[in-house]
Structure 1
């Protein structure tokens, strides 16, 4: 049976450990729990039971589907890697002040190992980006020190 990855469905939120399992499935296209445990056993100190637990969670989240094959199951990713990465990025930006997104992106660029092609791609994306006229803070009052919340904080204290 052909593997089917739905790129139209909103990507699910997955934990760091689940990411590791998904990376194996995205690479192989399909695998049984033992294959995944063997691959992750080279870098993680995980037992087969740990991998099976993570696979069970991913099945419940509809990120992975199973097919029986004899006495074992074969696991297939149902969400694409690109859509899942995009969702994780959106999730990150939803948790930080809108006024700090640029600084966060700059920090990510500084921390990441990038090839010349990566840098050229980023520079091209930046050259095509239209700057926002104004970025409004989306923090909870008192969470940050921006001018928008200093006024609100002063009003709350009165």
Structure 2
């Protein structure tokens, strides 16, 4: 399944819905989204509702009634969205290649010794996994 294209603003709404689902509440209501994302972004209730309806049309969110209120639940997992977004980013900017991406960020942002140690550990783990697969 191809994940729907979710805008930056819509991703902020999705984050609140994902957080609600992951916390065992099933999702989030308009009030939850207003409190978490609306306030931080200066959005009105109308803006939040517009973003929710866009997500429903994109089939990223479902709406159900609970106790007279709408509860919005994710139809797209956070992990699937992150995977699709990061793959698109990697493809667009680095031709799908990971090494140029890492090199770019290492040069532009710099890497402290902790970052370098984590990267070395990751490469060693990936080497070990690749050796097991052979």
TM range (shorter): 0.7 to 0.9
- Tell me the equivalent position of 1:79: 76
Encode CA deviations 1:80-128: one digit per residue, 9 max, x unaligned: 11111010011112212428752323334564999x59x63x4333232
Equivalent residue runs for 1:81-120 within 5 Å: 81-98=78-95, 101-108=98-105, 111=109, 120=118
Identify which of structures 1 and 2 has the higher relative contact order when contacts are C-alpha pairs closer than 8 Å and 6+ apart.
Answer: 1
The partner residue of 2:11 within 4, 8, 19 is 19
Question: What do the CA deviations read for 1:26-60 (whole angstroms, capped 9, x no partner)?
Answer: 11111111220111133110011111111111111
Query: For the residues of structure 2 that align with 1:65 and 1:73, how far apart are their CA atoms?
Result: 10
Cα distance in structure 1, aligned partners of 2:59 and 2:78:
14
Structure index of larger Rg:
1
Q: Which structure 2 segments of 5+ residues have no match?
A: 22-26
Assess, with a 3 A threshold, how the Cα gap between structure 1 residues 111 and 74 changes in structure 2: closer, same or farther: farther
Q: Aligned residue pairs: how many? A: 120
TM-score for the superposition, normalised by structure 1: 0.62
Q: Name structure 1 gaps, 5 residues minimum.
A: 1-8, 131-158
More helix by share: 2
Inter-CA distance 93–68: structure 2 relative to 1 (3 Å threshold)? same
